[in-house]
Chain A
Amino acid sequence: MNILIIEDEARIARRLQRMTLEFFGNTPTQISVCDSLQKGLDHILDDNPDLLLLDLNLNGDDGFQILEKMVAASFHTIVVSANIDKAITAFAYGVLDFVPKPFDQDRLSKALTRFVSPKLKPDGGIKYLAVKTAGQVRLISIADVIYIKGAGIYTELHLHNGKPQLHDKSLELLQQLLPDRFERIHKSYLVNIEQAERIIVNPGTRYSLLLRTGEVLPVGRSKYKELKLRII
């Protein structure tokens, strides 16, 4: 387990580190601490973590620009911040949790539990997916996403405008962040169920899903029953 903490107050950074180690117990866990955003960004370039605990002064637009960069990355981000009035916006950007300062072991453990249990969704609603294109980070509205296809360690977002976008997060991580209407119909497909037209039954008990756009996606055998219930 590789965890990065970005926090400029030494005392709080040590607290986060101690509590995180306590949470993971016997699991081998490596924790790095950076005391500035710049150092954090440099660190990420060298060594991609599995989880980021981010202290961000979210007062002002610039805080959110940094946040966009972080949530576009391949790992989950948990924000630990004093600006509690910005929690809703942080969730909209796609953070796994927002831990308000001051925090105790229980609150931090709750956030870390989300990280280790992919079934647990964030408390707040995500509104955008941040994607990196040509070095820039762009926000894509969730409403524009029709389905997402797994492509190795990346994913491909298929949008209403017809132009697929690559995202750095895996299908599993995105599924955890996205609302329930995004249904996993296949090990490589996550579909916005509102975009589904009907299920097509092919010869040889093979199933596929016809989308409103006319596209046809394969449906995994084990997913069929659940999908059928949701569509009817």
Chain B
Amino acid sequence: MHTLLFFFTFLNWLNTHVIIRNESALPVYKVGDNETWAAKSFNDKDWSAIRDNTASQIFWSRTHLDLHQVENVLLPLGLQIEAFGAFEVYWDGVFIGRNGQIPMKGKPEIPGTERSYYSIPDSLIKPGIHVVAMRSSQSLLPDVQRSIAFKIDRYTNLLTRPLITMAYMNLMAGAFLIAAIYYFFLYLNSKRRQSDILIFGTICLLFFALLIMEYLKFHVTIPYPEFFTRLEVIGWLTFVNALLVPLYFIIQFNFKKGLWLMLILLLTLLLMYGSNYHHYDLTARLYSLAMFVTAFIVVLNGIVQREKGGLIVLAGLLISALVNRFLVYDYGLFISFTIIVLCMLYLHSIRASVIEAEHQNALLLSSRLQLELLKKNIQPHFIRNTLTSMMDWVEESPKEGARFIQVLAAEFDIMNEISAQTLIPLSKELELCRQHLSVMGFRKEINYIWEQADIDETQLIPPAVIHTLLENGITHSAPLPENTIKFILYYSVSKDAYQYIFETVAKNRPVMTGRAGGNGFKYIQARLTESYGDKWAFTSGATETGWKSTIQISIK
């Protein structure tokens, strides 16, 4: 939308009226002070085309402008002068205004501003040659040689057009300011502190600053000695943006050699700055060229890597490069920058939706795991075998049968208690394991022995992880000759990890089919991922004395 409004302003600007026939007319200079030098008829043939260092002296300049016939609707006419110094302006010998104050009676010069506007009397605009004579001083930047540029248009147009342009620019600047603030808040309040959000916020803020700086001259009157300061600031803002925009793309498109590319870009930009010192417009153009080349490299690489959003951003960059190439710098840069920032916003929204999907998946995983946990005790293999044994116990010895029912109820209670949690105290997990062993003891009539070493019962662990290892141990082991199976849990902490080792001391049953442990291991791994991300390791394998599983959780 901004771009569109902007474009209309631009068309409007193209539509300005050509009134001066010789727009590039050059002034001639003479050091000294003589009021007759203002006259239209004065002969300035022997005046110099070069001003030289005029120190704090007063000097005069005269420029011959050849006017077209002017339509009445354009009246009153105004004269726009772009020049350094303090000066009084004479149109065909008639004083029409001043900019700053030239040194007078020992008082120093009050500097004028670089661009100033004057109304031309209606009686002095006949077609043909006219003379603009300027009584000037340039004591604050005496050695800076800068020519004088003139433009004539309807006086009110000269005054209002920059304001209209600025209104659009401020609209854009406001959008960037809001975006910057939003992304800074997002960065500060996010637990993950993603650097790309910070970079994006900074880009928006810098771009806001760039827009404000570019149009600062319409907000405040800048004395001509400070003219270059503003350009210098704009240059550095462009410099930093030319670095940050490719950096953002490097992060978003997972560019592998990002550091190298950034170093090359930095060196190139510094080289551009050094070799074109004080050619502000040229340096800014070169900066944006470097930025485009780097961004293209990163985006093309992203497309090769099949990164999301690659093609859209490439299209955006192409449009933006074309705009930058074919419009005047002032407009082109901002339009192209806007397109790039839109591309970034688009990328960011893609990224945000990916994160949202990941979050949804995590929630889904958690509820799936909870279900999985609850299913452990109602899956037919467990419940029906348990009930069959229980029938038998009740028939044979009602007293033992009742005890069996109680241990089963206790196991159910613990399961129910822990099922909705993602981490439980180790003591709870151990209680669950012991209850399960009691149940299985009634069923299998094997003497199960439970041992634990160096256990820190206050530690937290995902629910039913050791329980799952225990189940596997029971299913896949045959008892030793004395009808025992022993389970041992070791716990240890080192500098950067803590570790559980779960050992089954028994005979491993020969594996007939390939299904050993599949679902149980998946459950354990999913639980570890849910609570520890990728900061865990799980191994499990046969040993000479049975089976050994190790869970390591790194602390860092």
> A11 an interface residue at 8 Å Cβ cutoff?
yes
The listed residue with most A CB atoms (<10 A of its CB), out of B380, B510, B513, is B380
B384 lies within 8 A of A100 (CB): yes
- A189 CA to B445 CA in the complex, in Å? 49
Q: Does B37 contact A (CB under 8 A)?
A: no
A10 touches B444 (CB 8 A): yes
Distance A83 CA – B509 CA, assembled complex (angstroms): 22
Nearest-Cβ distance from residue B31 to partner chain A, whole angstroms: 103
A35 to B477 CA separation, bound complex (whole angstroms): 11
A103 touches B388 (CB 8 A): yes
Q: Kindly report which residue of chain A lies nearest to residue B445, judged by CB atoms.
A: A10
| Chain A stretch 130-167: residues in CB contact (< 8 A) with chain B | none
Task: Known A59-B381, A66-B512; judge A11-B387 contact (CB<8 A).
Answer: no
Residue of A nearest to B442 (CB): A11
Q: Across the interface, do A82 and B514 meet the contact criterion of CB distance under 8 Å?
A: no
Total interface residues in chain A, CB < 8 Å? 26
Contact (Cβ within 8 A) B446 A10: yes
CA distance A37 to B515 in the complex (A): 14
Q: A9-B443, A11-B389, A11-B392 are in contact. Are A84 and B513 (CB under 8 A)?
A: no
A36 at the interface (CB under 8 A from B): yes
* Across-interface contacts of A100 in B (CB, < 8 A): 384
Known contacts A10-B446, A11-B444, A36-B478; A102 and B384 CB within 8 A of each other: yes
For A55, the closest partner residue in chain B by CB is B385
Query: Is A62 touching B445 in the complex (CB atoms < 8 A)?
Result: no
Question: Once the chains are docked, how many angstroms separate the CA of A105 from the CA of B391?
Answer: 11
Inter-chain CA distance A73–B385, complex, in Å, is 27
Question: With contacts A11-B444, A82-B381 known, is A101 near B478, CB below 8 A?
Answer: no
Within 8 Å CB of B509, what residues of A?
A: 36, 38
Q: Determine whether the beta carbon of B513 is less than 8 Å from that of A38.
A: no
A104 and B387 CA atoms in complex are apart in Å by 11
Interface of B is mostly: helix
**CB distance B385 to A82 under 8 Å?**
yes
Complex contact A15–B512 (CB within 8 A): no
Distance A93 CA – B446 CA, assembled complex (angstroms): 34
B408-462 residues with Cβ-Cβ distance < 8 A to A are 442-446
- B249: interface (CB < 8 Å): no
Bound-state Cα–Cα, A84 to B383, Å: 12
Whether B388 pairs with A102 at a CB distance below 8 angstroms is yes
Whether a CB of chain B sits under 8 angstroms from the CB of A28 is no
**Judging by beta carbons under 8 Å apart, are A83 and B381 in contact?**
yes
B233 to chain A, nearest CB (A): 71
One of B383, B388, B513 near A12 (C-beta < 8 A): B388
The reply to whether B445 and A83 form a contact with Cβ atoms under 8 Å apart is no
What size tier do the contact residues of chain B reach?
A: 20 to 34
Chain A contacts for B514, CB-based, 8 A: 62
- What A residues does B393 contact at CB under 8 A? 11
A101 to B387, Cβ gap below 8 A? yes
B residues near A85, Cβ cutoff 8 Å: 380
Q: Which of B390, B392, B443, B513 is most buried by chain A, counting CB atoms within 10 A of its CB? A: B392
A10, A62, A65, A104 pick with most chain B CB within 10 angstroms:
A10
Between A62, A82, A104, the greatest number of chain B beta carbons within 10 A of the residue's beta carbon is seen for A82
Q: Which of A8, A11, A59, A102 has the most CB atoms of chain B within a 10 A radius of its CB? A: A11
Residue numbers in B under 8 Å from A102 (CB-CB): 384, 387-388, 390-391
Instruction: Determine the chain A residues whose CB is within 8 A of the CB of B383 once the complex forms.
Output: 82
Q: Does A60 touch B at the CB level, under 8 Å?
A: yes
For A60, list chain B residues within 8 Å (CB): 515
Instruction: Tell me if A84 and B384 are in contact (CB < 8 A).
Output: yes
Q: Which residue of chain A lies nearest to B386 when distances are taken between CB atoms in the complex?
A: A102
Q: Would you call B384 and A65 a contact (CB within 8 A)?
A: no
Find out whether the CB atom of B446 lies under 8 angstroms from the CB atom of A104: no
Please give, as numbers and ranges, the residues of chain A lying within 8 Å of B387 by CB-CB distance.
101-102
Asked whether any CB of chain B lies closer than 8 Å to the CB of A48, the reply is: no
A113 beta carbon closer than 8 Å to chain B: no
CA distance A35 to B384 in the complex (A): 18
Instruction: State in angstroms the CA–CA spacing of A100 and B390 once bound together.
Output: 15
For window 26-71 of A, CB contacts with B under 8 Å fall at: 35-38, 57, 59-60, 62, 65-66
Q: What residue of chain B has the Cβ atom nearest to residue A19's Cβ?
A: B392
Are A15 and B392 in touch, CB under 8 angstroms?
yes
Residue in contact with A101 in the complex, picked from B388, B442, B445, CB distance below 8 Å:
B388
A82 in contact with B380 (CB, 8 Å): yes
Near B by CB (< 8 A), chain A positions 101-116 give 101-104
Query: When the two chains form the complex, which single residue of B391, B442, B478 contacts A104, counting CB atoms closer than 8 Å?
Result: B391
Residues of B within 8 A of A83 (CB): 380-381
Sample (9) of A-B pairs whose CB atoms are under 8 Å apart: A35-B478, A36-B510, A57-B381, A65-B513, A66-B512, A82-B383, A85-B380, A101-B385, A102-B391
| Chain A residues packing against B (C-beta within 8 Å) | 8-12, 14-15, 35-38, 57, 59-60, 62, 65-66, 82-85, 100-104
What 7 pairs across the A-B complex have the smallest Cβ distances? Answer: A82-B384, A62-B513, A102-B388, A101-B384, A102-B387, A10-B445, A11-B389
Q: A10-B446, A12-B392 are in contact. List 10 more A-B contacts (CB 8 A).
A: A8-B444, A11-B443, A11-B444, A12-B388, A36-B509, A62-B513, A66-B512, A84-B384, A101-B388, A102-B390
